[in-house]
A and B are shown apart, each in its own frame.
Chain A
Amino acid sequence: MNCASARNRLLAQADPADVPDQVSGHLAICTACSAWHSLLVQVDAVVLATPVPAAPAGLKKQLIEQFQPIITAPKPAPPAAKPIVKPASSVVVLAAGASAGDRLAKLWPVGAVAAAVLVGALGWVILGGNSEDGQIVGQPPRDPMLEKVVQAKVDLDTAGTAPERLKVLDRLATDIHEQATTLSMVTPGAEMESLASRYEKVVIAGLVETARLLTDEERKALLDQYRNKLGEAEHQASRSAANAPPGSAEHLRHIAQAAGEGKTRLERMRQGGA
């Protein structure tokens, strides 16, 4: 017998001083349980010796009345009372004069379950039905990057203005850069080369060339923002390259160089150059 089962057996005794044979063997060899048993016997003795305080007159009666159904003679119930159960010889009713609030309060478990189901369903709909990557529960994982490039293609072809196209290309470049940063530790080599070359293409052949189509006003309003973002991307990619393994580091540096080149070209454009 172990300590836990011995103590549980003692707690189950009406009188803890009355030790069963199986437990006494354990107490004989376990000093911790023996001390715990002594304490239990003392506590039990103190509880028994404690006098019961005198209750105010009528308290017992009031308490019992709260748990007793009202038994009425077989005569019409008072108007405010609503029969719930109708045995042959008596009628059990809710207390006459109980307010509607009190009656509703008795239904609280139903309300709690309904509220729980409602809140759970809302949580499922808002947060649970789909993961952050748009995965439906139970389906194999879907590639979030593929979803982003598909959306970029659609958005670019339906964009009506150069600033809108610029925004799409900037987002695509950012997504590719983030993907490269994420994968730099797990897929060095061909995957990183692919990401770096596409990043350069999107920035130099896409974003910078689209920026040339902006009006002077649009250049003033927008180019600083994109130049700064490219500067930040250059800095981040350089920093990531410093910690990346071989096979990834050179491609992160490629991304940094492309971002730097894009930044320089936008800067030149902003100053009125071609």
Chain B
Amino acid sequence: MTRHILSGVVIAIMAAAVGAQTPKALTSAQKGELFRKNREVFENIVDQTVASSKSPNDPLKRANTYYSLLVNFNKQIAASSQDSGRVEELTQHLKVLLDKGLTPTLADAKRQVEGGTGVDEFVDLRQGLLAQLKALLDVLSNDPATKSSLEGVKNRLDSIKIPEAKH
């Protein structure tokens, strides 16, 4: 009986070891290559993060930092049209930025301007963001799966309605 149990344990351990095998972590050279390729995107995101930190109480200004990000991502994605892996990676990052960063920030900005000034800036910003997103969706027209992942984001941004202008 002990022999049987031990055999089972050995098989289980070997199966676990095989199942848990992972691709090796990236080497320094691979990280360097990826950074070289993504440097412009990296710099833009860091710059806009620092810009956001300067406006902790102004969600409209923070939302505005996403316009620059969107323009830059559009440019990078359009330039990588032959590299589907990179397009997918950049699109996924952009989706996170827009869904988890911009959407709540824009909703805060809407509440901010509803009670006072800044409605025109909000309207302009929202229109600009949606126009950039539409341009990106046009670029991705040949990639339905990637495109559909961003269409949901666009719809959510679109649902943050323009407040009535106060006269």
Q: Which residues of A contact B (CB under 8 A)?
A: 105, 108, 111-113, 115-124, 126-128, 130-133, 135, 137, 139-147, 149-154, 156-158, 162, 165, 169, 172, 176, 179, 182-183, 185-187, 190-191, 194, 198, 201-202, 205-206, 209-210, 213
With a cutoff of 8 Å between Cβ atoms, the chain B residues found around residue A143 in the complex are 31, 34-35, 37-38, 89
A117 and B15 contact, CB distance less than 8 A: yes
Contacts of B101 in A (CB 8 A): 153-154, 157-158
Chain B contact residues, CB within 8 Å of chain A: 1, 4-5, 7-8, 11-26, 28-32, 34-39, 41-43, 45-50, 52-54, 56, 62, 69, 85, 89, 93, 96-97, 100-102, 104-105
Q: Does A122 contact B16, Cβ atoms closer than 8 Å?
A: yes
Extra inter-chain contacts (12) besides given A116-B8, A143-B37, A169-B49, CB under 8 Å: A108-B5, A112-B8, A112-B11, A119-B13, A120-B12, A127-B19, A131-B25, A143-B35, A149-B46, A186-B29, A194-B42, A198-B42
Give every chain A residue within 8 A of B100 (Cβ-Cβ). Answer: 154, 158
Q: A108-B4, A150-B96, A169-B53 are in contact. Are A182 and B19 (CB under 8 A)?
A: no
State the Cβ distance, A48 to closest chain B Cβ, in Å: 30
Q: Which residue of A lies closest to B7 (CB)?
A: A112
Q: Is the CB of A183 within 8 A of B35?
A: yes
Minimal beta-carbon separation of B85 from chain A (angstroms): 4
Q: Is the interface of B mostly helix, strand, loop or mixed?
A: helix
- What is the CA–CA distance of A143 and B34 in the complex, to the nearest angstrom? 6
Contact B11 A146 (CB under 8 A): no
Given contacts A154-B100, A157-B101, A165-B56, contact A116 B11 (CB under 8 A): yes
Chain A residues with Cβ under 8 A from B43's Cβ? 194, 198
Query: Once the chains bind, are A120 and B15 in contact (CB under 8 Å)?
Result: yes
Query: What residue of chain A has the Cβ atom nearest to residue B100's Cβ?
Result: A154
A252 to chain B, nearest CB (A): 15
Chain B residue at smallest Cβ distance from A130: B22
CB neighbours of A130 from chain B (8 A): 22
- In the bound complex, residues from chain B placing their C-beta under 8 Å from that of A213 are 56
* Pairs across A and B, CB under 8 Å, 24 listed: A119-B13, A119-B16, A120-B18, A131-B25, A132-B25, A133-B26, A144-B26, A145-B42, A146-B89, A146-B93, A154-B96, A154-B100, A162-B56, A172-B49, A176-B46, A183-B32, A186-B32, A191-B36, A198-B43, A201-B46, A202-B46, A202-B49, A205-B53, A209-B54
* Known interface pairs A128-B21, A201-B47; A187-B85 also in contact (CB < 8 Å): no
Q: Which residues of B contact A182 (CB under 8 A)?
A: 28, 31
Are B29 and A149 in contact (CB-based, < 8 A)? no
Question: Which residues does chain B contribute within 8 Å of A205, judged by CB atoms?
Answer: 50, 53-54
Residue pair A137, B23 in contact (C-beta under 8 Å): yes
Are A141 and B18 in contact, CB atoms less than 8 angstroms apart?
A: no
- Do B28 and A149 touch across chains, with their CB atoms under 8 A apart? no
Minimum distance in angstroms from A240 CB to a CB of chain B: 13
A116 with B26: in contact, given A146-B42, A149-B42, A187-B32 (CB under 8 Å)? no
For A139, A149, A165, A190, which residue has the most chain B Cβ atoms within 10 angstroms? A149
Which A residues touch B53, using CB under 8 A?
156, 165, 169, 205-206, 209-210
B34 touches which one: A122, A141, A165 (CB < 8 A)? A141
B21 to chain A, nearest CB (A): 6
A201: nearest chain-B partner, CB-CB: B50
- What residue of chain B has the Cβ atom nearest to residue A112's Cβ? B8
The listed residue (B25, B38, B105) touching A133 by CB distance below 8 A is B25
CA distance A147 to B93 in the complex (A): 7
In the complex, the answer to whether B12 meets A119 with C-beta atoms within 8 Å is yes
- Shortest C-beta distance, B160 to chain A (Å), equals 15
CB contact between B19 and one of A121, A135, A185 (< 8 Å): that residue: A121
Closest residue on chain B to residue A175 by CB atoms: B46
Point out the residues of chain B lying under 8 angstroms from A132, CB to CB: 22, 25
Q: How far is the CA of A191 from the CA of B37 in the complex (A)?
A: 10
Structural contact, B42 and A153, CB atoms closer than 8 A: no
